[in-house]
Structure 1
Amino acid sequence: MSHRNAPLSETGRLRLARCVVEAGWPLRRAAGRFQVSVSTASRWAGRYRERGEAGMADRSSRPLRSPRRTPTRTERRIVKVRVLRRWGPARIAGLLGLVASTVHRVLVRYGLARLTWLDRATGRVVRRYEHAGPGDLVHVDIKKPGNIPDGGGHKIHRRQAGGRNSSAHRDPTRTRKVHGRPNLGYSYLHNAVDDHSRLANTEILPDETKQTAAAFWTRAQAFFQAAGITVKRVPTDNSSCYRSHLWRDTLADAGITHKRTRPYRPQTNGKVERFNRTLLDEWAYAQPYTSETQRREALPPWLHTYNHHRGHTALGGQPPATRVPNLTGQYS
């Protein structure tokens, strides 16, 4: 296909060549008529004499010889290291004494998948999935960021002053598990994310016991039902609260199937794991909060923005609300 600034299309080249070869026009006259140089007119006329209409098509700009191309033996070594060790271009270049850009070009030439697409343990391409409708699968997980002392922690005042604030506002009911380090406790973020729409519900609770987890799910199910979503399956990891009879019975009474992921396979519950990271990056650690209360007050507005306004790459840049027509407050 011709580039955007090409003076002639394939049809124009054919007309020029026929004027020169068949009608006997001088090259200068044909060049002036089609507003190209004499050398261009000569080139297309010559190709028409050699190959006819087929000679008017674009040719590859790749050279016939590439004497400075990476040797085949080196390319094979690069591919072997990538397949066996699953290293990136920079590490492979350091091992083989090459330039990282050269290694990258070889990997692209051989069509090897990016490391972000691979399961590092097995080297297989990660199989991504998305269920057809809201509620078919709702991922549940718990994240535990540390609490912030009054006055701010080390992210505001650095280690020395932040440590003094932590010691002054330490929870007296909690012992110090590490010498010289106060135990402020954790915020237990119980999260539920719909697989199809990425609609999320999050609560900050005092612990991760089976009673707390079961009560959270009862409220989360009500949240999804208010949005017109009927939950069918819930996958979780193998935490003790999710292995309890109370959790099992809570889901069974609601007619929901519970699935537990394989040990050491967080990818199975990947959508809520990715939500956890977004939650930490865009809310928990997004700004230097001066207290835990200030951070907790910022969670509901952020969660509303996530569900209703923040574009999601997996949804084509649209927020989760666009996939849940019955979601209340969608246009607020």
Structure 2
Amino acid sequence: MSKQKVIVLSVVQQGLTKTEAARRYGVGRQWVHELVRRYEHGGLDAVEPRSKRPRASPHATPEATTQRIRELRAELTKAGLDAGPQTIAWHLEQEGLKAPSTSTIRRILVNAGLITPEPKKRPKSSLHRFEAAQPNETWQSDFTHWTLDDGTDVEILNFLDDHSRYLLSCTGYRPVTGSIVVQAFLATTEQYGLPASTLTDNGLVYTARFAGGKGGRNAFENLLHTLNITQKNGSPGHPQTQGKIERFHQTLKRWLHGQPPAPTLQALNQQLHTFQRVYNHQRPHRALNRRTPAQAYQTTPKASPNQPKQGGHWRIRVDRIDAAGKVTLRYNGRLHHIGIGRAYARQTVLMLVHDREVMITTPGTGEILRELTIDPTRNYQSRQKKTPPAEAGGVVDVATHM
């Protein structure tokens, strides 16, 4: 029995005066008066200690906001998007609601049973984050596997800006080849300009330096060299170097898992187009101080290659080598026949053309079959070097034998 009840019973049942009860139990006489008054109005239960919680809490999160926090958690999780406190706060602000602190949002989610405790993670202080200072300073690229509804394996090729995490390109292929990487890169540069550098792994579509000792460059490497773009490759077996795009693949696949399975490659690319818009414009990034990648990319001056050797528009053409080992290209209204070699007769090739500069590669591997500068004075561009006419500047042929 509580002390308060004992004091009251000593007065109302034992006949002690309030002064005597106060002296015996070491409390004030006014407190005994208060306890007896409570007993007379509500019985013994009324004399128990009362909560000191204030009747009103003006700083409490409104119930409507609390409910919306729970709803956003469910909606974002179902859509395969990040649903953490910072993201929820961003969405509340976009809806015109005053967002509480992220700690308050986390407490609301914990109390609602919407956050599952995770094992202790590696401390953030142990991580060394490397980030480009400007948009277009470094583009990361990689591709990841995905499965269509019928079980067909496809590959999704991505280009991601290192500074802003802006998703520059996101397209599915069956499969990704060296020529596709070149085409996708050029299409992306047409829209966003040239990057100062690229960062990729050591896959054969990006580099030939581990291609069984053949040496030389593949089509992507040669294109970057021609444009004076610095090429960076991660160390073998160390994917942390490309950590941003590796982490991005998790985000992409989590979102795709929240969508209806794509029956065709075309349907998948429609989904990827939607994801690109959502990721760039509707998803704040914690590393960007709750800005979207689009805001970070568009509000900062862009980097560019140092004195690029080539600029402007590159033409992409798919052709087939004829029986005599030649392909034909029109320059300045005149047809020019380019010798490749009879050994490659009937093979399909990818031609990258910039003014008179031509690079011819195989679509599957990106192997460079020939590089040359068109000599407008000759119909046939032989693989053999010619002594150039003084007035024309001659043929500059830097054919690479792979």
TM-score by length of 2: 0.40
Task: State the structure with more CA Rg.
Answer: 2
Choose between structure 1 and 2: higher strand proportion.
2
Answer 1 or 2: which has greater helix percent. Answer: 1
Q: TM-score, normalised by structure 1?
A: 0.48
